[in-house]
Amino acid sequence: MISSLSFSQNPYDLWLQYDNIEEQHILETYKNQVSNIYLSLNSATGTVIKEEIQKAFKGLLGIEPKFDSKTPNIIISTLDKLDPSLQKKLPEISKMNDEAYVIQYISDSKDAQIIISAITEKGLLYGVFNFIKQMQLRNDLSKLSISDSPKIQKRLLNHWDNLDRSVERGYAGFSIWDWYLLPELIKQEYIDYARANASIGINGTVLTNVNSNALVLSPRYIQKLKALADVFRPYGIQVYLTARFSAPIETGDLETADPLNAEVKQWWKNKADEIYAAIPDFGGFLVKANSEGQPGPNNYGRSHVDGANMLAEAVAPHNGIIMWRAFVYSEEKPEDRAKQAYSEFKPFDGKFKDNVLVQVKNGAIDFQPREPFHPLFGAMPNTPLMMEFQITQEYLGGMSHLVFLPQLFEEVLEEDTYTQGKGSTVAKIIDGQLSNKKLTGMAGVANIGTAKNWTGHPFGQANWYGFGRLAWDPETSAKTIAQDWLKMTFTNDSDFVDPMTRLLLESREAVVNYMTPLGLHHIMAANHHQGPGPWVKDMPRPDWTSVYYHKAAADGIGFDRTSSGSNALEQYAPEIQKKYSDPATTPDKYLLWFHHLPWDYKMKSGKTLWYEIAAHYQKGVEQVEGMQKTWQKMQKYVNPQVFEKTNMLLNIQLKEAKQWRNACLLYFQQFSKMDFPDFIPEMTKDLNYYKSLKLPYAPGISPSWN
């Protein structure tokens, strides 16, 4: 009953918790090391840096930092304004990119100094956030010698936010963009959003849903957008919009949106000019075209290349980019949906303009708990591919399941595509290493909303944080991310950090186990996607059903994607084809993604497939129980409200994990006709019970779907 605001560890502050350092010796050491600051900047970004330092020092150290230049022990300066004698003492920075920074402790003078420097002010901001993080992590400042730069250029959140403030697949309340009161009302949340993103290196945000609305391109909304851009600019964050391909028609200006039509081209050029006049650093457009009912160039017999390049020309004079989504699958095509994006886009390799990124989801279906990497990665060497991850948990339990997604992201990024020989990981394709790409990017579909802690689930914050870290460096380990986030958000106590790191890293396998083990996929309930729905079959399209994907029948279960089936496997490199074409050499985790196997198929474990399916579902449930046990021991480290809320959410997760297990096993048993192994608890409800569960007004879907 005590207000949520009277605790330290305030959930609103995310990982930027600056609670007073309790370890007295560290506190005293830090206070001696960082009392006096020289800050060379007088710009808006300089103000941001100064205020962040004030906040951090006041919180962590309990001091008001002095910004006088006489005897500074911290020097924060862009490289060009730094004394040449100091420059020499820094790690090499000149060859690094514009967003790079260095942090160097220099002890050879009588008075030791910490230098934070960068080529640009934005780099300096990143450096300062990292420096503060060093104190949050209780690291030894006298050992600081950091030279860092982002490996990916465009590090973007994608907000699937509608203008009515509903959020498609949003589970954290509603859109934080209060368009109605913009541009006049600048909410504090906008500032704190920018601050949080800058702290993890995110440098762009697409504010609107990919299922887009042309209204946002109108003059009135451009003024609103400008207000947000002005807030975000000092934090190094650019704004982007989704472009509705049919906007020229919907605004009433034209009768066609044909990308080869001269008037259409001019319309977009004019629109781009209009936006850039208000927002000189506008980032560009994200486009979902000819996908799931969205308009696009195909409506006029034109290709994705025609559409993307037309828009690319419009924004090119302003250094804007186009992110063109590859998430397409045709209503007419009978081809395995997993194959369609590759089939459609691979022939376009090398044909897009320089300022076009093709944005590809991590897997070929749709953000499932586990999918093999998308076959387009590595298949378009002459086209910059942008990774699209989903931070919001559309298929992973909405807001009520604790799932640490950096583990999922890491798994994808580490996968070897073999497209340029062994070691051609997805990460190296995305960050441009393998083909020296000029343009690189990673997008994360945001899990942010009006919830007082931003993400609804307290642990949703870790996924936002982790996405930022991986967009900065896609080879960062999930374990490092988990540890840093836990320390920054809660405490550095290893009795908390160590078991909770294990919990986080296991949480993603848990959700795979209790939802879609062994390569199963897309067997969730229809529309809202919450809870099991292996029985889903009557939908407007076959590839929106569950039966299309699991193909459970008397003869077995799984989608044959080898040469005897859809041969989606042929879209991968020969090394992978070879390995995955035989169930015996296919990793268990992808088994039923690529193979249709009999229920009594003998697994590597020696058990039957049916037994292993049951064992995985059971293990998932037990893993959630294990998470509960671990969490119970963490009470003393955590804000009591967060502790209780997480308890309640874990209870929901366990309840739903059991629903998944029971519903799926009962459903599949109709075909396997085999008994449950002994470790499966007795079912007290029948299949019809699970089928009858309805979730009206489930969050994250359009009101009209209810």
- Residue 390 in 3-state DSSP? strand
CA distance 667 to 665: 5
CA distance 190 to 205: 12
Kindly give the pairing relationship between strand 238-242 and strand 284-287.
parallel
CA distance 273 to 254: 18
- Residue 43 in 3-state DSSP? coil
Q: Kindly state whether residue 706 participates in binding its own copies, applying the rule CB under 8 A.
A: yes
Q: Give ∠ CA 348-360-579 in degrees, rounded to 5.
A: 90
Give Cα 202 to chain centroid, integer Å.
Answer: 11
Q: Which lies closer to its own copies via its Cβ, residue 120 or residue 639? A: 639
Taking CA atoms, 272 is separated from 37, 238, 352, 410, 580, in Å, by: 42, 15, 19, 36, 46
User: Contact at 8 Å (CB) between 352 and 312?
Assistant: yes
Helical H segments across 336-453, by residue range: 337-345, 406-414, 426-430
- Residue 469 in 3-state DSSP? helix
Q: Which lies closer to its own copies via its Cβ, residue 5 or residue 553? A: 5
- Catalytic residue (choose from 52, 121, 258, 394): 394
Residues that bind its own copies (rule: CB under 8 A) add up to a total of: 53
Q: Kindly state whether residue 250 participates in binding its own copies, applying the rule CB under 8 A.
A: no
User: Contact at 8 Å (CB) between 389 and 405?
Assistant: yes
**Looking at 48-56, 292-300, 356-364, 484-492, which segment touches its own copies (CB under 8 A)?**
48-56
Out of 106, 278, 539, 695, which residue is the one contacting its own copies (CB under 8 A)? 695
Out of 649, 664, 665, 687, which residue is the one contacting its own copies (CB under 8 A)? 649
**Looking at 128-136, 172-180, 200-208, 508-516, which segment touches its own copies (CB under 8 A)?**
172-180
User: Contact at 8 Å (CB) between 275 and 282?
Assistant: yes
Binding mask 671-690 for its own copies (x = CB under 8 A): --------------------
Q: Kindly state whether residue 651 participates in binding its own copies, applying the rule CB under 8 A.
A: yes
CA distance 236 to 45: 8
Please give the single-letter amino acid code of residue 606. G
Q: Kindly state whether residue 703 participates in binding its own copies, applying the rule CB under 8 A.
A: yes
Q: Kindly state whether residue 191 participates in binding its own copies, applying the rule CB under 8 A.
A: yes
Q: Kindly state whether residue 655 participates in binding its own copies, applying the rule CB under 8 A.
A: yes
What are residue 104's DSSP bridge partners? 115, 145
- CB of 367 vs its own copies, minimal distance in Å: 20
- Comparing CA positions, the residue from 205, 234, 216 lying closest to residue 179 is 216
Considering only residues 418 to 477 of the shown chain, the ones binding its own copies according to CB under 8 A are 450, 452
Q: Reply yes or no on whether 292 is catalytic.
A: yes
Give Cα 222 to chain centroid, integer Å.
Answer: 26
User: Contact at 8 Å (CB) between 468 and 183?
Assistant: no
Q: Reply yes or no on whether 366 is catalytic.
A: yes
Binding mask 381-420 for its own copies (x = CB under 8 A): ------------------xx--------------------
Q: Kindly state whether residue 252 participates in binding its own copies, applying the rule CB under 8 A.
A: no
Q: Kindly state whether residue 165 participates in binding its own copies, applying the rule CB under 8 A.
A: yes
Q: Kindly state whether residue 554 participates in binding its own copies, applying the rule CB under 8 A.
A: no
- Catalytic residue (choose from 80, 292, 354, 538): 292
Q: Kindly state whether residue 699 participates in binding its own copies, applying the rule CB under 8 A.
A: yes
Q: Which lies closer to its own copies via its Cβ, residue 131 or residue 221? A: 221
- Comparing CA positions, the residue from 701, 623, 605, 697 lying closest to residue 660 is 623
Considering only residues 68 to 97 of the shown chain, the ones binding its own copies according to CB under 8 A are none
Q: Give ∠ CA 237-241-242 in degrees, rounded to 5.
A: 140
Out of 164, 263, 495, 686, which residue is the one contacting its own copies (CB under 8 A)? 164
CA distance 203 to 465: 13
Q: Which lies closer to its own copies via its Cβ, residue 221 or residue 599? A: 221
Q: What strands lie across the sheet with 37-39, from one edge to the other? A: 37-39, 74-78, 113-118, 101-106, 145-148
Out of 67, 105, 174, 637, which residue is the one contacting its own copies (CB under 8 A)? 174
Q: Which lies closer to its own copies via its Cβ, residue 173 or residue 372? A: 173
- Catalytic residue (choose from 121, 148, 344, 366): 366
Q: Reply yes or no on whether 509 is catalytic.
A: no
Which residues of this protein are in contact with its own copies, per CB under 8 A? 1-6, 10, 12-13, 16, 48, 51-52, 55, 59, 163-166, 173-174, 179-181, 184-189, 191-192, 195, 215, 399-400, 450, 452, 641, 645, 648-649, 651-652, 655, 695-699, 703-704, 706
Catalytically active residues are 292, 366, 394
